[in-house]
Structure 1
Amino acid sequence: MQWDEFEQNLFLKIMSFPVRTILIISLVDRGVPFIQFGGIDAFNTGRFAGDDTDMVAEFSGENGRKDMATFTEQQREEFKSLGFEPFGEEALTWGRNFTWPTPTKTIKEIVRACVIRLRDIGGIQSPDQLRYKAWRYSEKPREDDDRFCEELDPGDDDLQLPELGIPHE
């Protein structure tokens, strides 16, 4: 697979990303560099489950334990222009939250930043060197939910996303 095909596959998957889903894509065997996405309600499993309309995109930052990549000032500026910021004091990940629905242009920018991190900075020659793992958290009943007779989604600990075009871990 070529990078442009992977970029298109990832874009299409994010455009239809399932709720409560986590997706991590990384270099096979090493786990870094990585990109990861959290869907609507993926991080909101408490009392207010179902109220979160934000998604999260992240990628591995600089000077991680297994990945000593250093971003150039130009790369840092490009990531910031695409809406990404370093998370935490050590900046082990960079990320951005985005409210759903999000304009197509924004999703393209997010995917572009992730490909830059994997291909250009991570030095990954081909998407064929990548693997993914994904899961979907179970649906939690809401306090004000009177659908007690409807079945809740039990989630999926081993979510298959073959449309990405890369192997499942």
Structure 2
Amino acid sequence: MVMEKPSAQLVGREFVRQYYTLLNQAPDYLHRFYGKNSSYVHGGLDSNGKPVEAVYGQSEIHKRVMALSFRDCHTKIRHVDAHATLNEGVVVQVMGELSNNMQPMRKFMQTFVLAPEGTVANKFYVHNDVFRYQDEVFGDSDSEPPEGGRFSFVLRWLYRPYQPCR
């Protein structure tokens, strides 16, 4: 019997259900979604005002999750987008609100890249995870951020003039 491959949307929605349930009920096991080459970044700026660095690998991710002290964490998921990506992976973007340790709800955006795990059909792990609170990105007003308050860059593509094949 051949199992039908689930859609990226189905994989994404099921992953989101499992991930945020575990975040609420047992955050100390959250690192088990990740692998030895996974990356994880949570937040915007550290206490020195510098961008939070990503951590790599299941062990370091576990330490970072524990340092975030998730307690009585509740989420309201507003929207989930999921799309197939390279090598049978799935990219998932989650928009919602999160409350940790009885604090007020804060809007967030979280993006996951789910990669297939080995040769087991329909089994994935989190290869990349980027979490941002929206108030840390956009602030509370419509005004422009102060000079030096945000960083930006210009991506310049390498342009090569057309050369006919010989």
TM range (shorter): under 0.3
TM-score using structure 1 length:
0.25
Structure number with higher strand proportion: 2
Q: Larger Cα Rg: Structure 1 or Structure 2?
A: 2
Task: Select the structure with the greater relative contact order (CA < 8 A; seq sep ≥ 6).
Answer: 1
